[in-house]
Amino acid sequence: MFRSFLCFIIFFPVYALSQSNFKKGYLLTSAKDTIKGFVDFQEHKKSPSAVNFKRSTDGTVEIFNPTNCSGYGIDGFEYYESHLVKVSLSAVDINKVSNGLDSSSVQIPVFLEVIQKGKNLTLYAYTDVIKTRFYLLASNDKQPYELMRQVYMDHEGAKNLIRLNTYRGQLNTAAGLFDVKNKIDEKKLKNLRYGKREILEVVSIINEQKIVRSQLKSTRFFAGTGMIATYTRYSGAYFLAGENATNGKSFSPFVSLGLDIFANPAVGKSLFRLEAGVNSSKNHIYNGLWDHKFDYFTVTLAPQFIYNFYNAEALKIYAGGGVSVGYAKYTNNEVRRYYTIDKELYEVRDAIDFTPVNWSVITKIGVVFDKKFELSAGYFPGAPLATYSGFKVKATKLSFGVNYLFGGH
């Protein structure tokens, strides 16, 4: 069972990474004609360099890039325009910044994400491996220009970190161009962060329009229950660690509650999960002469990363992993020795000193039906319950659970 579980985790992504996620949308041709169809909607940390497009649900996939189309959109989600723009090459990560001002740039065609299109300005975003940049296009201009932010080390010898926040002045100039300077909070502008939310607030004032907030929630809660199969064993130099020992196997229920945080709620492919659970276990390890019984009640907290390799509306299939940290309370903890002949009790030894806090890596697979019901299986390869100089007690677990998801994604 464990081998099959691990094989699924390793080989299923090879198939799943090629999965498409076509949504209703449109393509703007180079002549600015609109073609209705379906756009492959994917999560991406960087701005897309190409897009897959189909004219019908069963049509042939066509690939477009910024040189052979004017843009594309996914209805209700994302919109991109193709532009030939200057892209600054200076790093802003303090571990990668240059010594002295780096004003290098390259002019290339790119897909710019439309953040807001207003009567005065259009705000765009573009992200590559170096950084995220924001662009403005005035209503009376033809090409967007970058809102500049530069970070570098002073090469005069002091090695001070210099932040050149030119974008604040650029936004102030744009406000003056459309005669709305009196509506901008100057103090706020002088301390404005280079972030999407902050810049969008200023652009919205210049455009004299309200910010349209996404109606999609980035979080959801869930509750679940299931069964855990626990396999306890000794390892090392101990009389219950030999080949003659019968290791403990137990089956017990568990309940869990948790929170999912989506990287992109519009796509719903990847998410961070924080799961809390409780379960109990009765354990018995023996070899005919020695006998160890103990029970424990565990409260766990498990942060996990989950990726929906198959991500259709009605069915999602995922794999994930993380770490489970537990706090356990042990009871009925006794090690007994029996006579060899008549099996009568001979002595009771001091109980094993278990560690109250334990942890284990987790791997999980699961399916989600209709965005509401989730079935999952989890593998915990081995949490150390007790550690001595010559031996250890470990617990390996396999879980099978069902969750109800509050709020469809």
- Each residue of 322-337: pLDDT tens digit? 999 999 999 988 888 8
pLDDT of residue 4: 52
Residues 104-149 have pLDDT tens digits of: 999 999 999 999 999 999 999 999 999 999 999 999 899 999 999 9
Q: Which sign does the torsion angle of CA 231, 233, 235, 241 carry?
A: negative
Residues 164-180 have pLDDT tens digits of: 999 999 999 999 999 99
More confident residue, 390 or 228: 228
Of the pLDDT bands very low, low, confident and very high (cuts 50, 70, 90), residue 408 is low
Strands 290-311 and 78-88: unpaired
More confident residue, 386 or 109: 109
Least confident of 9-18, 150-159, 379-388: 9-18
pLDDT of residue 147: 98
Residues 71-86 have pLDDT tens digits of: 999 998 899 999 999 9
Residue 78 to residues 1, 110, 184, 218, Cα–Cα distance (Å):
42, 15, 28, 16
- Give the per-residue SS3 of the chain: CHHHHHHHHHHHHHHHCCCCCEEEEEEECCCCCEEEEEEECCCCCCCCCCEEEECCCCCCCEEECCCCCCEEEECCCEEEEEEEEEEECCCCCCCCCEECCCCCEEEEEEEEEEEEECCCEEEEEEECCCCEEEEEEECCCCCCEEECCEEEECCCCCCCEEEECHHHHHHHHHHHHCCCHHHCCHHHHHCCCCCHHHHHHHHHHHHCCCCCCCCCCCEEEEEEEEEEEEEEEEEECCCCCCCCCECEEEEEEEEEEEEEEECCCCCCCEEEEEEEEEEEEEEEEECCCEEEEEEEEEEEEEEEEEEEEEECCCEEEEEEEEEEEEEEEEEEEEEEEECCCCCCEEEEECCCCCCCEEEEEEEEEEEEECCCEEEEEEEEEEEEEEECCCEEEEEEEEEEEEEEEECCC
Q: Which residues pair with 78 in a beta bridge?
A: 74
Question: Is there a contact between 54 and 137 (Cβ–Cβ < 8 Å)?
Answer: no
Name all domains of the chain by residue range, CATH numbers in brackets.
Answer: 20-207 (no CATH), 219-406 (2.40.160.20)
Taking the mean position of all CA atoms in its chain, how far away is CA 1?
28
pTM of this structure: 0.74
Q: Which residues pair with 401 in a beta bridge?
A: 226, 376
Average pLDDT value for residue range 199-206: 96
Question: Is there a contact between 96 and 131 (Cβ–Cβ < 8 Å)?
Answer: no
Please say if the pLDDT value at position 376 is more than 90. Answer: yes
Written as six digits, the tokens of 305 are 């990363």
Residues 9-60 have pLDDT tens digits of: 444 444 444 567 889 999 999 999 999 999 998 888 899 999 999 999 999 9
